Amino acid sequence: MNSLGGYNIEDLQPGMSGSLAKTVTEADIVLFSGVSTDTNPMHLNEEWAKTTQFGGRIAHGMLSAAFISAVLGNKMPGPGTVYVGQTLKFKAPVRIGDTVTATVTVREVIVEKRRCILDTVCTVGGKVVIEGEANMYCTTAKA
């Protein structure tokens, strides 16, 4: 582990994983709208959203994707790592009151480049809502 509590590249092995769960609230959606400036009525206007294929408001996809970032930055590989890339496939909507579980699993470790590739997934009630892949630049025990 590094001095911040994150995993160094030398500590990582395929199959290692980390996760977190977060219940999406009205406040989360409003705050995310403000920070991102994404005020799409799909997220903020229930009456309008009822007329869409979703039948009501849905959370921002990138809000749920941010939970993946939280796992990567706080748990696996953890503090000190830096995003290099992320792919995302949005599979189903997330709504206020849904508990999103974000899980990342180490797929590949490239020690000589200080990179790791992780499978990323968000689920609600066992149903996949986002899947993708993260590429991270990791800390090293070697100076």
Residue 122 belongs to a domain with what CATH number? 3.10.129.10
127-137 vs 99-110, strand pairing mode? unpaired
Kindly state whether residue 124 falls inside one of the protein's structural domains. yes
How do the pLDDT tens digits run along the chain, 143 residues long?
Answer: 888 889 999 999 999 999 999 999 999 999 999 999 999 999 999 999 999 999 999 999 999 999 999 999 999 999 999 999 999 999 999 999 999 999 999 999 999 999 999 999 999 999 999 999 999 999 999 86
Residue for token pair 């294929």: 53
In a domain, 31, yes or no: no
The domain of 83 spans 9-24+60-137
Tally of domains within the chain: 1
- Which tokens go with 14? 């395929």
Burial of 141 (0-12, 13-18, 19+ CB in 10 A): exposed
- Is 143 within a domain? no
Q: Establish if 102 belongs to a structural domain.
A: yes
- pTM exceeding the 0.95 threshold for the entire prediction: no
Identify whether 53 is part of a domain: no
